[in-house]
Structure formats: structure tokens, C-alpha cells
């Protein structure tokens, strides 16, 4: 979940690295650090805090260096402190390392490095000391890196600089790392957006790859002796998507971008969706797998497939091991991941015995290269930590897979066009004013309850998650059909309850009336108003895609609540966009 950006080339590395690290902040971080070459020495600057404050504190932008590496840390081993920030160095300060991942056997390694001086509580620090030890025995850097790679356990990718060495070194294992081919130099980074402003020529690295690069050249060798191809890909993403444009936050921008993305599905190539539907139709059982928002999408997909008569269940990534004895060769697995680098999914991939379909947003990611069929989410770059458009696009793709599986694809496309015709009504001033008024009422609450039936309950789960993520208010979702089996005890006078009403079913309103009778303040999101609602946000109907406006309203309520609480919704505390370590 840490962010790495490194550069070696003929140009000054610092501006590239400053831009690059700012475009990796979405990965989550609590400290920042860098290593640069200055008159032959490695200069390390690091501290706790956001990137901008540390950059300003040490006036890093005024440095000139042809090679360097920047890092944002998301604490795993060791607390949030300057000493634990990356880069970490060896005893002499001549080897610097930035790292993303977890070294599982770091404590045993640390004990074995007798006589070495450690200054942090991190697992990362064993890497520079292991290299120091090997180099002191006369090993070349590449031989030392191979030895370190073989000794450390766990998913770990890292970049190394050494005093007096014109080369930089990068090792990929588990955690994401890509190579960018610039006009006057080379980038190694955790993600493409960090260098997209300067090049769209990318090499997707494989596990075990060692990259040796300097001002003039780059070469790749595989430490696992694999013969993987390293083709150069041209990434078709506009650098303009990295900017907030007219919006105050990326989250608001990405919520608004959903309208354009939904329209693009009218001309989408559904050939892979049809193939996925065919595999699903003939499957013994379908398992839809995800984490966080991706799990909520998986639960929605499982629900609509079951309604089509297909045996489908949703499971979380960490539960795959518990289900593995039930898996059969003719099962189908639908793996949902925005990053394509979700750690528990990668770790469990080999347990999935059947046909594996990936709905993934990141080209070249580990999961995208290791499933049997990849369906691109087509959500583009999503920089806010809270998933919005990637969740929405996944839901649309699952609905289309279901429609092809049950033979209703023409009707689904009609509903999609109807949705796109009417979606503008969510963004008119009267609706936005109502959402902002609701957010003002919610901002000081300690608890918010989301309720719904059927797929309305799944939308409630996602709405509650968004509220927790970006506003830090405790929010919980309940199925209205089970509200009397315990949750009703939580309702008291003035309790805020957000109801996602998908259909005007009597049972839905019975549950809401019981909540209201106990003092609940009900905020209805629905195509039609009701006397049970204390407040109401109107959303258009769109057949099988009627979930879309409900989701967008829930996203906007959480966004404006966070803003009214003075919280930056793009960078929620303690969270990272890509959960690449467990």
C-alpha cells in the first residue's frame, strides 16, 4: 500500500519525482521520504506528515540530481515515526531502500545480522543490511540482490540505490511495480499515474523481475528464471485525468464522471461479457469474490444471478480458504478488484479450481495477467481512496453478464439508454440542494443507519461503507426484512435512517413505519415519495439499472457530509486505495 517512484536519466529527477509522488498519494500514507544523489553521496530526507509539508520542510524541490527515489509509507511494521519512514539505510548510509510489502521473516533475519545497527522498528530495514553483508563478502550487487530475494519471505517489491553506483535496482515480488520508458530516462513506480505526464510507454513487470537501470539503459532479468515476455505497452489514458479540474476533490469529480462512463456502455464491446455469461450459464456454481466495495458488487452480482436461476454466492477474499474444499473443476469464479493487486485474492488464486473471470480496472496488474478471462472495468484512473466509478462500472458489467446469461440483453440495453436519458435529473440544483441539506443534518450525528430490502439492502451496505470511509461517522446497514430481529433496538428518537427504496413493496413500508413509530428520522431515496419519509430525494427509474441513481445519491450524501465536517474525502485516515499487503 506504500507508494514508490524512482527515476534515473539525463534530466533532473526531482521535478519528475515530486509530480510522481503526488500522484501516488491515493495509495494512503502517513510519512514521506526520499533519497537523492548529491556529489556522489546518498542524501536521505524523510519525516512524518503529508508529502507537501515534508517537501517544503527540507526544500527538496531545490535539489538537482539525475537519479532518486521517493516513497510514501502506510505503516505496517513499526509505528508512525520519522525513524520508520523510508528510505531505510545500511550501517554506513551507503545503501538506501524503499519498499512496499511485508517481510514475514524479518525478525529472524534481524537476529542473524549480528553487529549491524538498526534504527527503526520496520521489517524493511533488514534489506539494506542484508545487502551490506553480502557486498562485504565480495558479491556483486546483482548477486547480493538475488541472495536477498531468496532469503526474504512474503510479498515485497523494493528499489535500491548505492553510493558510487550509477545503476539503480528494482525488485518486484507480489506488490505492484511497473517500468516507464521516458524520453531521457527511466521510471520505476508502484503505479502508472505517477509518470503518465511524462511517458505512456510502460513495461508491466512480473514477479521475480530484477530491473537494472541508469541514465542510458535498462535491462530486466528474472530471479525466478522465468521466461516471461516484457513487451512495451502504450497506455491510453489522458494525463488530464490526473487533475481535479473544476472540482474541489477527486471524489466529487469521480462521482460526476459516472454519467459519461455509463453513456460509454452504449457502445461497449460486450464480446467478453457474452463469453463470461456463457461460462457462467454452464457452471456448476459461480463464486463472486471481492473485498470492501468489490464485495458489495459481488453480493449484488450473486443476487441477480440467483434470480436468473444460477447457483451463485458471494464470498470475501479472506474466506476463500474456508470454501476451498467445496470448489469443483466446473465452477466459475468472478474476481472483482479495482487494483488487480488485492493481496488476499492473489494469495488464494491457486485455490480456485475452475474458470476464473477477472473484472479488473488496472491493465497489467497481477490478477489481470493470471485469470482466464479479463473484463476491463473501464473506469479509468480513480484517485480518491473511496471507490465510486469503479464500483458503479462493476455493477453495470455484472448486470450485463446476467442479462446475457438469462437472454434479456436487448431489454437491458433499452434500460441502459433510458437511464442515460434521465440521469441528468440527479445533478439539477434542487436535488443537490436537498442532498446538501441532508448532509448538514447528518454531520454531527454519531450513528447513521442505512436500510433496504433485496438489492436495496446491498446498496445500503455500500452507502454505509462510504459514510464510514470519508466522514468517520459510524454507519451501519440493515436488511429491512430482518429489522425486528435485533436492529430495531438501536432506534430511538431522532435516529437518522437512510432508506434505499428500490420498489414500493408493502413489506418495505411496514418496516419503515416501525422505525418511524420509534422516533426514527427517515430519509428516503426512491423513485416515488411516501408519507413515511421525513425527507425525500427523488431518483429516476431505469429498469434493471435503477440501482445506479440510488448509489450516486448515497455517494453524494457521504461526500457532502465529509466536507461539512471539514474532512478531505480523498484521503481518509488509516485507509489506502490498494490493499496490497495483509
570, 383 Cβ separation under 8 angstroms: yes
Cell numbers representing residue 42 in the block? 546518498
Predicted pLDDT of residue 582: 45
DSSP 8-state class, residue 37: E
149, 173 Cβ separation under 8 angstroms: yes
Predicted pLDDT of residue 356: 96
Q: Which three-class secondary structure state does DSSP give residue 371?
A: coil
Q: Which residue has the cell 431505469?
A: 542
pTM: 0.88
**Which positions are catalytic?**
2, 577
**What does the DSSP assignment read for 325-350?**
GG--TT-EEEEEESSS--HHHHHHGG
Residue length of the chain: 582
Q: Which residue has the cell 430490502?
A: 453
Predicted pLDDT of residue 511: 84
CA count, 13 A, side-chain hemisphere, 445: 27
Backbone dihedral angles phi then psi of residue 188, each to the nearest 5 degrees: -125, 130
CB atoms within 10 A of CB 328: 10
Measure CA 247 to chain center.
Answer: 21
User: What is the distance between the alpha carbons of residues 120 and 100, in angstroms, rounded to a whole number?
Assistant: 16
Q: Going along 242-397, which residue ranges are E strands?
A: 286-290, 312-316, 332-337, 355-360, 373-376
Which domains are assigned to the chain?
A: 3-238 (3.60.20.10), 244-427 (3.40.50.10490), 428-582 (3.40.50.10490)
Predicted pLDDT of residue 239: 65
Predicted pLDDT of residue 484: 77
pLDDT, averaged per 10 consecutive residues of the chain (582 residues), comes to 91 95 80 91 93 90 94 86 96 96 93 94 96 96 96 94 96 92 96 91 94 96 89 81 86 96 95 98 96 95 98 92 92 92 81 93 84 93 91 98 97 96 92 96 95 93 97 95 85 94 76 91 93 94 95 98 96 70 48
Residue 390: is the preceding peptide bond cis (ω within 30°)?
A: no
Own/partner long-range contacts of 431-438 (Cβ < 8 Å, ≥24 apart):
431/537, 431/538, 431/553, 432/556, 434/535, 434/536, 434/537, 435/537, 435/553, 435/556, 435/557, 435/560, 436/560, 437/535, 438/523, 438/535, 438/537, 438/557, 438/560
User: What is the distance between the alpha carbons of residues 459 and 445, in angstroms, rounded to a whole number?
Assistant: 21
Residues 6+ apart with CB under 8 A from 567: 470, 471, 472
Predicted pLDDT of residue 30: 87
Backbone dihedral angles phi then psi of residue 27, each to the nearest 5 degrees: -75, -10
Residue burial 166-202, b: 16+ Cβ < 10 Å; e: rest: ebbbbbbbbbbbbbbbbeebbbbbbbbbbbbebbbbb
Cell numbers representing residue 90 in the block? 545500511
User: What is the distance between the alpha carbons of residues 68 and 185, in angstroms, rounded to a whole number?
Assistant: 12
Amino acid at each position: 500500500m506504500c507508494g514508490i517512484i524512482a527515476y534515473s536519466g539525463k534530466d533532473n529527477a526531482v521535478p519528475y519525482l515530486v509530480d510522481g509522488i503526488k500522484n501516488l498519494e491515493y495509495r494512503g500514507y502517513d510519512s514521506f521520504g526520499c533519497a537523492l544523489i548529491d556529489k556522489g553521496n546518498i542524501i536521505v530526507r524523510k519525516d512524518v506528515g503529508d508529502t507537501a509539508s515534508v517537501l517544503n520542510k527540507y526544500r527538496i524541490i531545490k535539489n538537482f540530481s539525475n537519479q532518486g527515489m521517493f516513497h510514501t509509507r502506510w505503516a505496517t511494521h513499526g509505528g508512525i515515526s520519522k525513524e520508520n519512514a523510508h528510505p531505510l539505510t545500511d550501517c554506513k548510509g551507503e545503501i538506501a531502500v524503499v519498499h512496499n510489502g511485508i517481510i514475514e521473516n524479518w525478525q529472524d533475519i534481524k537476529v542473524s545480522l549480528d553487529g549491524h545497527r538498526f534504527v527503526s522498528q520496520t521489517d524493511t530495514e533488514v534489506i539494506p543490511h542484508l545487502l551490506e553483508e553480502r557486498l562485504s563478502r565480495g558479491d556483486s550487487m546483482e548477486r547480493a540482490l538475488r541472495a536477498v530475494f531468496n532469503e526474504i519471505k512474503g510479498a515485497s517489491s523494493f528499489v535500491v540505490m548505492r553510493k558510487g553506483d550509477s545503476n539503480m535496482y528494482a525488485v518486484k515480488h507480489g506488490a505492484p511495480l511497473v517500468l516507464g520508458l521516458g524520453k531521457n530516462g527511466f521510471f520505476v513506480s508502484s503505479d502508472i499515474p505517477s509518470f503518465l505526464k511524462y511517458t505512456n510507454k510502460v513495461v508491466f513487470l512480473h514477479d521475480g523481475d530484477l530491473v537494472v537501470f541508469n541514465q542510458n539503459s535498462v535491462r530486466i532479468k528474472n530471479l525466478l528464471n522465468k521466461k516471461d515476455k516484457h513487451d512495451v505497452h502504450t497506455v491510453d489514458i489522458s494525463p488530464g485525468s490526473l487533475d481535479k479540474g473544476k472540482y474541489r476533490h477527486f471524489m466529487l469529480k469521480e462521482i460526476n464522471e459516472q454519467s459519461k462512463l455509463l453513456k460509454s456502455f452504449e457502445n461497449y464491446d460486450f464480446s467478453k461479457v457474452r463469453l463470461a455469461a456463457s461460462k457462467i450459464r454452464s457452471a456448476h456454481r459461480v463464486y463472486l469474490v471481492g473485498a470492501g466495495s468489490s464485495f458489495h458488487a459481488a453480493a449484488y452480482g450473486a443476487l441477480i444471478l440467483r434470480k436468473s436461476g444460477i447457483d451463485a454466492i458471494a464470498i470475501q477474499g479472506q474466506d476463500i480458504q474456508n470454501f476451498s474444499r467445496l470448489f469443483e473443476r466446473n465452477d466459475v469464479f468472478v474476481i472483482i478488484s479495482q487494483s488487480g493487486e488485492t493481496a488476499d485474492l492473489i494469495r488464494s488464486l491457486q485455490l480456485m479450481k475452475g474458470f476464473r473471470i477477472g473484472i479488473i480496472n488496472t491493465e497489467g496488474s497481477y490478477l489481470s495477467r493470471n485469470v482466464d478471462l479479463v473484463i476491463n472495468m473501464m473506469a479509468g484512473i480513480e484517485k480518491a481512496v473511496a471507490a465510486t466509478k469503479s464500483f458503479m462500472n462493476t455493477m453495470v458489467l455484472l448486470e450485463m453478464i446476467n442479462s446475457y446469461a438469462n437472454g434479456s440483453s436487448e431489454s437491458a440495453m433499452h434500460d441502459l439508454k433510458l437511464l442515460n436519458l434521465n440521469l441528468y435529473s440527479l445533478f439539477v440544483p434542487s436535488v443537490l440542494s436537498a442532498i446538501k441539506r441532508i448532509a448538514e443534518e447528518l454531520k454531527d450525528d454519531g450513528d447513521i443507519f442505512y436500510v433496504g430490502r433485496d438489492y436495496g439492502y446491498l446498496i445500503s451496505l455500500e452507502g454505509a461503507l462510504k459514510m464510514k470511509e470519508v466522514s468517520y461517522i459510524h454507519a451501519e446497514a440493515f436488511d429491512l426484512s430482518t429489522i425486528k430481529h435485533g436492529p430495531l433496538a438501536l432506534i430511538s428518537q431522532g435516529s437518522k435512517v437512510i432508506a434505499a427504496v428500490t420498489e414500493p413493496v408493502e413489506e418495505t413500508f411496514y418496516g419503515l413505519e416501525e422505525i418511524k413509530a420509534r422516533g426514527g428520522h427517515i430519509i428516503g431515496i426512491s423513485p416515488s415519495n411516501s408519507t413515511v419519509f421525513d425527507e425525500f430525494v427523488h431518483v429516476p427509474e431505469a429498469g434493471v439499472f435503477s440501482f445506479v441513481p440510488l448509489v450516486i445519491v448515497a455517494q453524494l450524501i457521504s461526500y457532502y457530509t465529509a466536507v461539512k465536517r471539514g474532512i478531505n474525502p480523498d484521503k481518509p485516515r488509516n485507509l489506502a486505495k490498494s490493499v496490497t499487503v495483509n
